[in-house]
Amino acid sequence: MKQVRVDLGERSYPVLVGHGARHSLGSVVPAGPKKAAVVTQEAVGVLVETGLEQRTFCIAGGEEAKSMSSVEDLCRGFAGFGLTRADLVVGVGGGVVTDVAGFAAAVYHRGVRVAHVATTLLGQIDAAIGGKTGVNLPEGKNLVGAFWQPVAVICDTEVLSSLPPREYRSGLGEMAKYAFLGVPDLPELELDEAVARCVELKASIVSADERETASLAGQGATSDSGRALLNYGHTLAHALETVGQYDLRHGEAVAVGLVYAARLARRLGRIGDDRVEQHARVVSAYDLPSRLPAGADPVELVAVMGRDKKVTGGGLTFVLDGPSGLEVVRGVAVEAALSTLAELK
């Protein structure tokens, strides 16, 4: 088993990665709690043993379950179970479960400890690590939430074998992103090693910029971009998801977004053909799409990208590759964004 540490002073925590790692949950449960509220979904089907008096609370599947009413139901269930401030919440599932369980833990009794057992590839390399929790509103995704770091995260690669193939591929889209954030030879690594390397990279970014404040200041290219770098490939991906009429999982949309970001960077003279080809190679090694879905309208996509929640200044904002690596680039001309979209049709 591999162990990675997320270094955040007194809020530091271990991430255990490996086949069967869920059986080590008891070893990372902190001292003090008598009860554990296990939050999961029926479809997850992963049993965990905390060594405490535990009760399981199931939330529904899908993005709709990331709602204030799920959080209220959970908190009422926790109260009925007699969960106290000293006790523990355990999220067992993908990003939907860990986002909702994490947020419920952040607000129940003004904050109880939470541990996550991430059961999707996307959850293991991204959603369960870093303390972002939250739910959606009808007005938009992740609009209500809190930074609430877990006390431990378990990434059991054994449970990934029951994931629907499309969910697994969706995780590979995020993995492709890590290849460009700096994990070398990622497609060649065996699964446990690949997950651990991605976790290491996310942990180092989160440790340096826990609350994503590093990229808020500045104009043009910002070299100290911190946690915002995790949005590489996501500006177009979010636009494709917001338009909503395409049959794309999140990681598939990210894959198209990565290829797009590379081509945009080339158009702006920031990188050469070889680096663009490298993006295409990694995305195709993971059998992910690199073209816009049929019928996608570049004008509509650019309009949506202009409203992306990561935009904090004027103009279009992207994370782009360049001579000094990835950085947040503001004020990208609409014309460049449009012409590059046309290349991907």
Ligand X SMILES: NC(=O)c1ccc[n+]([C@@H]2O[C@H](COP(=O)([O-])OP(=O)(O)OC[C@H]3O[C@@H](n4cnc5c(N)ncnc54)[C@H](O)[C@@H]3O)[C@@H](O)[C@H]2O)c1
In the complex, the residues that contact ligand X under the rule CB under 6 A are 41, 43-44, 46, 61, 63, 66, 93-97, 99, 119-120, 122-123, 126-127, 130, 132, 142, 159, 162-163, 167, 170, 250
Q: How far is the CB of 299 from ligand X (least distance, A)?
A: 26
Q: How far is the CB of 197 from ligand X (least distance, A)?
A: 17
Q: How far is the CB of 111 from ligand X (least distance, A)?
A: 17
Q: How far is the CB of 143 from ligand X (least distance, A)?
A: 11
- Residue 243 tokens read as 């338009």
Closer of 122 and 328 to ligand X (Cβ): 122
Other beta carbons less than 10 A from residue 273's beta carbon: 9
Closer of 74 and 127 to ligand X (Cβ): 127
Spell out where the chain has E strands: 2-6, 13-18, 35-40, 53-58, 88-93, 113-118, 132-137, 140-147, 152-156, 221-222, 316-320, 327-332
Q: How far is the CB of 336 from ligand X (least distance, A)?
A: 28
Q: Which residues of 306-343 are buried (b: 16+ CB within 10 A; e: fewer)?
A: eebebeeeeebbbbbbbeeebbbbbebeeeebeebbee
The counts of H helices and E strands in the chain are: 11, 12
Other beta carbons less than 10 A from residue 18's beta carbon: 20
Q: How far is the CB of 263 from ligand X (least distance, A)?
A: 24
Distance CA 192, CA 279 (A): 23
Q: Which residues of 195-215 are buried (b: 16+ CB within 10 A; e: fewer)?
A: bbbbbbbbbebbbebbebebb
**Parallel/antiparallel/unpaired status of strands 132-137 and 140-147:** antiparallel
Q: How far is the CB of 219 from ligand X (least distance, A)?
A: 27
Closer of 70 and 317 to ligand X (Cβ): 70
Closer of 120 and 340 to ligand X (Cβ): 120
Closer of 177 and 197 to ligand X (Cβ): 177
Closer of 66 and 263 to ligand X (Cβ): 66
Per the listing, tokens 């103009």 go with 315
Closer of 157 and 340 to ligand X (Cβ): 157
**Whose CB is nearest to ligand X?**
95
DSSP string covering 100-167, please?
HHHHHHHHGGG--EEEEEE-SHHIIIIITSS-EEEEEETTEEEEEEEE---SEEEEEGGGGGGS-HHH
Distance CA 171, CA 250 (A): 8
Burial of 118 (0-12, 13-18, 19+ CB in 10 A): buried
Q: How far is the CB of 60 from ligand X (least distance, A)?
A: 9
Q: What is the largest CA-CA distance in the chain?
A: 60
Q: How far is the CB of 102 from ligand X (least distance, A)?
A: 7
Closer of 89 and 271 to ligand X (Cβ): 89
Closer of 126 and 252 to ligand X (Cβ): 126
